[in-house]
A = this chain, B = another copy of it.
Amino acid sequence: MSQPRPGGRTARTRTAVLEATIDQLTEAGYAGLSVDAVARRAGVHKATLYRRWGTADGLLLDALTLFADRSVAMPDTGTLDGDLRDIARSALAILTDRAGQALIRAVVSAGHDNQVAQVIRAFWTRHNTMVARVVEQAADRGELPAGTEPADVARAIGAPLYMRLLVTAEPLDTAAADQSAAAVAAAARAGVFARPSAHDAESPA
């Protein structure tokens, strides 16, 4: 069941092509992501790309998968504010990374009805479980009300940064990330993200 030819040339071609894909996305955006352009840039014949990736979306999907496979780092600063700040700065790192920017813009342009969206959903699922642990620890320390929704917290941390990148084209710097983290911390402490308690009791572990 081993791959027929997992070896050198194929891997090199893939690397060159996916790097060219990022370059092309960076310069020409999703609209300019044609198979021909990527082939020329990678120094590979376009027939090869059509055979292995089929379409431009196939290229995007492969590049995205490679990028999203980085494991999400779990912060552990001992305080809610510290953890949220770390999360916001990690998000900032992705959003300021050249490949990250290119891929995020492309994903948004590609829409939500394809395999690309599945990779994104999987990424957010992992990210949310990470945030859930942070929230849980904070609740144990008494820093947050019980029943705080991790998904709401996770979205709120990233949202202002994505907003700057995608909508308002404002600068993405550490101050922006830290402000976002502080805002989320304040809102979470105020119970804005707390799920309305079913009846009035939430005791189980």
Contact = CB atoms under 8 A, between A and B. Distances in A.
Interface string A164-203: 1011111000000001001110110110110000000000
Interface stretch (A11-19, A47-55, A71-79, A150-158): A150-158
Contact of A193 (B31, B162, B179): B179
A80 to B, nearest CB: 13
A117 interface: yes
A122 interface: no
A115 interface: no
B109 A31 contact: yes
Q: Classify the secondary structure of A's interface with B.
A: helix
A147 interface: no
Nearest to A190: B186
Interface string A103-124: 0110011011000010010001
Contacts of A82: none
B193 A183 contact: yes
28 contacts: A29-B111, A31-B109, A104-B167, A105-B111, A108-B109, A108-B166, A109-B109, A120-B167, A120-B168, A155-B160, A155-B163, A155-B164, A156-B183, A158-B167, A159-B162, A162-B167, A163-B163, A166-B166, A166-B167, A182-B192, A183-B183, A183-B184, A183-B187, A183-B192, A183-B193, A186-B186, A186-B187, A186-B190
